[in-house]
Amino acid sequence: MMNKFYLLLLTIGLTFISCSTSERELTVEERVREDVEWLSSDEMAGRLAGSEQEAIAANYIADRFQQIGVDPFGDSDTYFQQFTLQGPMAQSMGVENYISRNVIGKIEGNEQPGQWIIVGAHYDGQGHGGTISLNHETADTLHNSADDNASGVAGLLYIADKLSERSFNKSVMLIAFSGEELGLLGSRYFTDNFFINRDSVAAMINFDMIGRLTNDELTIFGTGTSPEWEEILNQTSSNGLEIRRNPSGTGASDHAPFHDIGIPVLHYFTGTHDDYHRESDTSDKINTEGIIRITDHAHELMQNLDKVSAGEMEFTPTAPQQSNVMSGDSVTMGVLPDYSYSGDGFRIDGVRDGGPAEIAGLRADDIIIQMGEIEISDIYTYMQALGEFSQGEEIVVKVRRSGEIVELPLTFK
């Protein structure tokens, strides 16, 4: 049975939803728009993991699951899986040892209920920025976190609604993760405490930042995590999308922990932008129609995946696990990676105001090829290199800029 805390949250969530919806039935686009706007409203205060607003958001998602007909699959017959926030990012944001929760539901399959497809999206945001913010001057302001990742949650709820109309042969688990912004804490807790047979999972599909579709360009990461993905993707209509396939199944989102335990993954992503981890990531900039088109693509892909047994989805690791990437002792340059880049080196998509990179003169679109004496071939060697430096250390960073090699002195702080 639900404890008093969850009953209180359920009451709060029902109040919010009843106030936000009209008596008439909403169209699909209106429903998706409402989910984004509600989650990224000023009242939700950025949904920082461990906060009161994050708990209210969790209950909003649980209540939407219940409305749709998704069964609870969390602790003690609830939708919630509780965990404790730990680590350097949680400490820096003042929420270490606070309780957080994943929201988990399921739609049982018809013919193969013991086989699973997992679909996920993180619902926590950046709160008031702090150390998470990329805008140093306004770090202590509300970060509504609309694209990152109210957009993904809206996609998750939309696909849940589509699945409820006609279930698959396989069962589908739907997970709204928390603690992603603090270092994938919720998804790592889930994979560290896996409560179903791992071999019964065909794949995990992740929606993170799917709200800024521009020029129909979509990146799908993880296409190299199983040899079956090529055929499945080829069978799936593009839905008018210009799809870039990236083989990497690792990275800074909730699919990575599933990759690390040997499950094929895909990550849907519309790209970074100037509002990433800034107070300007607001709902008025969200492409609602784009979320629907992307989610429709994922739904059709899942229909094709439903025809493949979990045992046939052979897993292929796409990169060695990086043990020191997120260690508390690592320094930072204050840059945003271009996760869609697959060439030599590490391309910068954005630079944090006031960070070491900006002070050194690094710019967006610079490609880092060397840090000190360490050659940089990709994002993984870049992250490994950070572990070799300490605060206050001065190095020379070599970048490729408009075809020329530029050397820039940089001091870590």
Structure confidence by residue, pLDDT tens digits, 230-249: 999 999 999 999 999 989 89
Could you identify the residue written with the tokens 């049975």?
1
* pLDDT value of residue 298: 98
Structure confidence by residue, pLDDT tens digits, 58-88: 999 999 999 999 999 999 999 999 999 999 8
More confident residue, 349 or 399: 399
Structure tokens at 71: 């069964």
**Listed residue (365, 371, 264) closest to 318, CA to CA:** 264
Classified as helix, coil or strand, 16 is helix
pLDDT band per the 50, 70, 90 thresholds, residue 24: low
Q: Which helix (H) or strand (E) holds 165?
A: helix 151-165
Classified as helix, coil or strand, 38 is helix
Task: Report, as an integer, the average pLDDT of 192-202.
Answer: 96
Mean pLDDT lowest among 135-139, 151-155, 165-169: 135-139
CB 250 within 8 A of CB 319: yes
Handedness of CA 365, 130, 255, 192 (dihedral sign): positive
* pLDDT value of residue 315: 97
Mean pLDDT lowest among 3-12, 105-114, 157-166, 178-187: 3-12
pLDDT band per the 50, 70, 90 thresholds, residue 21: very low
Structure tokens at 410: 């940089």
Q: What per-residue string of b and e applies to 42-71 under the rule 16 or more CB within 10 Å gives b?
A: eebbbbbbbbebbbbbbbbbbbbbbebebe
pLDDT greater than 50 at residue 22: no
**Listed residue (88, 111, 87, 84) closest to 99, CA to CA:** 84
Average pLDDT value for the chain: 89
pLDDT greater than 70 at residue 345: yes
* pLDDT value of residue 338: 76
Task: Report, as an integer, the average pLDDT of 27-53.
Answer: 97
∠ CA 49-353-94 to the nearest 5 degrees? 25
**Listed residue (370, 378, 372) closest to 400, CA to CA:** 370
Classified as helix, coil or strand, 161 is helix
More confident residue, 367 or 11: 367
Task: Report, as an integer, the average pLDDT of 134-148.
Answer: 86
- The reply to whether omega before 144 is within 30° of 0 (cis) is no
Handedness of CA 87, 125, 339, 298 (dihedral sign): positive
